[in-house]
Amino acid sequence: MELILSGMVVAVAALFRGVTGFGFALLAALGLSSLLAPATATPIILIIDIVLTGLILRDFDRDKVDWRACTILLSFGLFGAVLGPYVAFALDDQTIRIATNLAIAVAALVAMLHHPPKWMGHFVIGALLACSVGILMSGFAVGGPLVAAWLLAGGTQDVRVRNTLAIYFGSVDLLGFITRALSGMLPDDFIALALPLLVIAMIAYFPGEMIYRRMSAMVWRRVCAISLVIIAIIGFVQTIAISL
């Protein structure tokens, strides 16, 4: 039953990633946080997110990447990616679950902003967010939409947001996963748990991508906004429930 429920969560999250280009880790962490221990759920989410990022970038086009923003994100984000697993390892499961759900709620609320304020697109804000989100993503598998909001505030066009985020997410996820593996933080049954969920995610991703290719920019933004409102509400409710 645990595997079935986990598979359903991963399928929905992968479908959402196919449509929006982000949000897999956000949704997966939200659903898996009540099914699996954080030390088990996070590396599974990371490895699946790495594969989905590869699928997004399989038709890579250099002209569809904001290289200035990408350089800032990678320069500071990779530092945070190395720290993330150690931060998570130092915390107990209860604290991790509360921190994860708070990060989910905040990230979802920020990502709902249709026009993020221009001050949010400043270099210093980007550097701080890149490092902080690097820690959050590699440690807890959440926080990505905060970076999406920074890109939009800085004027990155919608068509470039998807690929720029994919490069950043993939790099942070990969470094975070390698750090966990080399430090012996992966659970003993990792492969047995991750492999079937990875297959489910890959199957569910492609219908989402097909939906994305048929959507107008306006419809895409509305779908993202409505979905993130629901995610934010669920994140707050879960945080309150866990804290009680």
**Each residue's pLDDT tens digit, 60-104:** 788 889 999 999 999 999 999 999 999 888 887 677 767 766 766
Confidence of residue 114 (pLDDT cuts 50, 70, 90): low
Predicted pLDDT of residue 210 = 94
Tokens encoding 51: 């594969």
Convert the pLDDT of each residue in 167-203 to its tens digit: 998 999 999 999 999 999 898 889 998 999 999 999 9
Q: Percent of the chain, pLDDT > 90?
A: 34
pLDDT recorded at residue 3: 81
Instruction: State residue 95's pLDDT score.
Output: 77
pLDDT for res 76? 94
Exposed/middle/buried for residue 5 (C-beta within 10 Å: 0-12, 13-18, 19+): middle
pLDDT higher at 95 or 116: 95
Lowest mean pLDDT among 2-11, 154-163, 167-176, 179-188: 154-163
Spatial contact of 22 and 141, defined as CB atoms under 8 Å apart: no
Contacts of the segment 90-98: beta carbons below 8 A, 24+ positions apart? 93/37, 93/38, 93/39, 94/242, 96/38, 96/140, 97/33, 97/38, 97/242, 98/239, 98/242, 98/243
pLDDT band at residue 113 under the 50/70/90 scheme:
low
CA 84/CA 160 separation, integer angstroms:
27
Q: Rounded mean pLDDT of the chain?
A: 84
What CA–CA distances, in Å, run from 30 to 25, 70, 128, 233, 235?
A: 8, 27, 24, 11, 7
pLDDT at 238: 67
Does residue 109 contact residue 101 with C-beta atoms inside 8 Å?
no
Q: Is the separation of the CB atoms in 88 and 135 below 8 Å?
A: no
